[in-house]
Structure 1
């Protein structure tokens, strides 16, 4: 599965033409769906935005402008596993697009995905786990420093179901260096590293302020295979997300007044749930 942004003629709409798919979130909404990390909260802002709560839906896919693909079976070499839509499910979206141009532009959010027709017989189900430095809120965090290095962390999550970890990738704002997932007693098990520039599509003129970033995040590395140090999710494990920023290494995005824009620290992890394993919480 992969998200994109394009013009009516099919051309990619990206930073080089002043267009950003700042972020999008896809929800599966229906009976039996429970968000792994916000399902027990009395209130969860992302779910409220689609007129729901953490129970009755789950965040199942997300993308920032770096447009990381979630090619789940290929992440780990596993086969016969996928996200199983139910007949009672509906899809809901949060979409945040940005236009740096001084005139209106028409662009289309695109979703490209593989699917297997049928009832899913022979395929194990999959569950997403959403880690966020502003968990169950807006995902936006005020930058704690205007220069140099800092770290923002998510509230620790205690695993409430079990399964086989397939893969994970992070999302950060400009100025981000890397994002880690730690598991109690194990240490860092995933290190998703940001790359900048890489192509003309991810390079822009200074936005709003002369010292703002011009080379933007174009890729976040995926933790899969040997890069994934823990491959089993067990109930009671304590998982912590930490997002590391360094404005001396990579420029952040500045507002017109020269202040750093808000930052994000997000990772979505996919877990294979085999028959007989508890799906919780």
Structure 2
């Protein structure tokens, strides 16, 4: 998200429940018995809410959009949290930035506990996102494996400008895709003309649930198209780095 008035670009804000320990539910790519290197959990503990320039409006959801699913992120009375933010200042002068969280919660423990993992399309495949100035490119991850029975509740991709979508496959079958929405907050959106498109303003959500069994596989495909969407430039005029990731939410069967 580029805060135009302040000239501040939020690459990501990650949070973790430093106290909470959860059973591993997904493996690293190509290693069925080794837990995934969870980008969102690098702070220690269990990954909690996070946001980036392409997902700040949608927020984190631990139930269905209508609130009827009996799931949530369980928090203990004495849990501690830690956060990590990467913010870019496009101004010449220093800026003071404040970060706050707007959370909805209910007392007590209700339903199944939701687990989160942020997986990357460059795990087990290409070491970097594939790009071409002539058209679309696909970067396909190796296979991640489920370490317990349960349900994939939903997923949301994370891309940089130039990205089109992140697709999720279960057992090599397409399940859903999280599409990039281009445009500004002032209403240009996905229907804007090519001349007005500037940056990713959001990512659509993959809505489950998708039942899975222990040993089932998951893979990601990150799609970029530099003909339709140019890369974002840094302050020096060089192309910024690119990513292809997906945050996946899961709940184990009781």
| TM-score (norm: length of structure 1) | 0.72
Partner secondary structure for residue 164 of structure 1: strand
Unaligned runs of 5+ in 1: 6-12, 204-212, 277-281
CA distance in 1, matches of 2:142, 2:46: 19
Match of 1:194 in 2: 180
User: Is 1:173 equivalent to 2:160 in the alignment?
Assistant: yes
Match of 2:142 in 1: 155
Indicate if the aligned counterparts of 1:75 and 1:166 stay in contact, CA closer than 8 A: no
Partner secondary structure for residue 240 of structure 1: strand
CA distance in 1, matches of 2:17, 2:111: 19
User: Is 1:265 equivalent to 2:228 in the alignment?
Assistant: no
Which portions of structure 1, spanning 4 or more consecutive aligned residues, are displaced by more than 6 angstroms?
none
Indicate if the aligned counterparts of 1:131 and 1:154 stay in contact, CA closer than 8 A: no
Match of 1:218 in 2: 201
Within-5 A mapping of 1:27-66: 27-30=16-19, 32-34=21-23, 36-37=25-26, 46=39, 50=43, 52=44, 57-66=45-54
* Closer, same or farther: CA 21–194 of 1 in aligned 2, 3 Å: same
Within-5 A mapping of 1:1-281: 14-15=3-4, 17-30=6-19, 32-34=21-23, 36-37=25-26, 46=39, 50=43, 52=44, 57-66=45-54, 67=56, 68-75=58-65, 78-87=68-77, 89-118=79-108, 120=109, 122-134=110-122, 142-145=128-131, 147=133, 148-185=135-172, 187-200=173-186, 215-224=198-207, 228=208, 231-255=210-234, 259-274=238-253, 276=254
Indicate if the aligned counterparts of 1:72 and 1:167 stay in contact, CA closer than 8 A: no
The Cα of 1:115 is off from its aligned counterpart by 0.6
Partner secondary structure for residue 71 of structure 2: coil
Q: How many residues align?
A: 239
Higher normalized helix content (fraction of residues): 1
Indicate if the aligned counterparts of 2:40 and 2:118 stay in contact, CA closer than 8 A: no
Partner secondary structure for residue 179 of structure 1: strand
Per-residue CA deviations over 1:21-40 (Å, capped at 9, x if unaligned) read 11122122236335544787
